[in-house]
Structure 1
Amino acid sequence: MSNLDRRPTARELGGLEGTSAGPALDLLPGKEVLLGESTRVRRLLPTLGRRLVGAWAFVDHYGPDDIAAGPGMQVPPHPHTGLQTVSWLLDGEVHHRDSLGSDVTFRPGELALMTAGHGIAHSEQSPVGHPRYLHGAQLWVVLPDGARDTAPAFEHHPTLPGFSSDGMTATVLVGELGGAASPGTTHSPLVGVDLALDAGSDVELPLDPDFEHGVLAASGAASVEGAPLDRGAMLYLGTGRRTVRVRTGDGADGGPTRLLLLGGAPFEERIVMWWNFVGRSGEEIADYAEQWNAEGERFGAVVGYEGDRLAAPPLPPVPLKARGRER
């Protein structure tokens, strides 16, 4: 998914000075952003107060939206470098095309994992005959220096491992939790897990104490370590936790609860993230934008998409400023 902001802010991220030295419970309420012509998302990362959770650098939550009378998601071809996209649906379908020739429609419970590496372009659309509702999350993972120039790749995993316990079903998108390990490729210590909880659940999940973690409420509401978490918000849990306790109410306040647990080793490298690019300097980012707008070979072409591709917006007129992991 693209960052469609026509005046995106350039950010320098990474380093350990903003990482919690221990457990935290910081609420990240998110910001509503228009994505394309028809889809509104809640942007949880980067947001006021925090820019990274492990290597997770971008978290958009959208829906549930009733798209029966409209086109649904319509994101034209756009580029990426230096990151992975993790696409996760709770409702609906998304048609993915990319410059590698991938042409895949993915659905709830299926992992769409794209590694941009050296450079890739892709588009995302709701199919013409799409389901009524669209609901999901789009996530970006920063690639470490040793992998950021790797060859681009796309993975579609129709089934994923998981486990059930005490009214909860966990599905592991990336990394490993509770003995279940995802087949998705990762390049840094990372975890991403979908948690479906029945009403009245009270569960304690194992965590890696060397990771920092965040929990996003995609639907319903929960109490995380005693802190309330409502739909569309995220709690930053800090580091040093070996477990996290999650409880849900009786279901009278909005139905079933779905959470996304995201975590990873604090990302030590400093990066620059602007629009849909991740690099290590403002000069690199400018070069990526110039190559994309010139239709250079780095990104290739998305075959089969009918319409214009997105142009990179003008670069900001001011030099980049190091801001660290916290805003």
Structure 2
Amino acid sequence: MRQVVVVGTGPAGLTAAIYLARANLSPLVIEGNEPGGQLTLTTEVENFPGFPDGITGPELMRNMRKQAEKFGAEFSRGWVTQVDLSGNGFKLQVEGMTELETRSLILSTGASAKMLGIPGENENIGRGVSTCATCDGFFFRGKKIVVVGGGDSAMEEANFLTRFASEVRIVHRRNELRASKIMQDRARNNPKITWSLNCIPVEVESDGNRVKGLKVINNETGLEETIATEGIFVAIGYHPNTHFLNGQIDTDDLGYIVVKPGTTETNIPGVFACGDVQDHKFRQAITAAGTGCMAALECERFLESVAAHDELEV
């Protein structure tokens, strides 16, 4: 039985792995289909402390992984399909591996941005297509950009992006927005925001290197047009990667793991959650890393208490 398994990488999981490895707990880190998490889809990262000239997302994740490996963390590629959290030792079924058993578990599986699923979208992530205004807005200073979505997140991102862009056009497939009235009012009162409602995005157009337009179809007229833009921010929501837990961990209405306030503790002792899988408010690399540190320290204390209990029983 292992002392601790970390499920998922990204800033949270890798930070947890660094702290756990330095505590001589030899953590096993299970990487999913996106090793390094969403940050690997980001080109330049300029707001992570310690890098005054910026660093690419993939490079930052590679460095964090090397740091964890240096102290003894072990990595294995796989997809966790099922967990059993009912006993003192937790059991994990991992695709391509034998069953794992661990005394403690850290969940850092993140949340995946919902995408439009249209031609040209995936190919241009990091080349003009983004899912994070606070991460990438700076790179679109003085440019015309598009935000796709009609909820509070879309309105918030559109307003934020007007700090940099010369114009922000909100594209939404319906005539009515899902956003709260106060968020709608803020967007409608912003002189830099324009609107393309009743428009369905059908294709991201590029010149092979950068985005140059978003092709849409008008719901009312059926006419097709291309909105000229150098940036497309997809803001149609996120879904936390918690499906494999099968309801064994408490989650909120959106599926995010619920932790005890001020901690990373879940409803099951010995199971901790960090990063975006339990945070749908900030979703930043630095906040994720912070909760990864918290999870590791709390996990270490949990294992110490288990060891002390075992000694008393002996």
Give the structure-1-normalised TM-score.
0.25
| Larger gyration radius, structure 1 or structure 2 | 2
**Higher helix fraction: Structure 1 or Structure 2?**
2
TM-score (norm 2): 0.25
**More strand by proportion, 1 or 2?**
1
Higher relative contact order (CA 8 A, sep 6+): 1
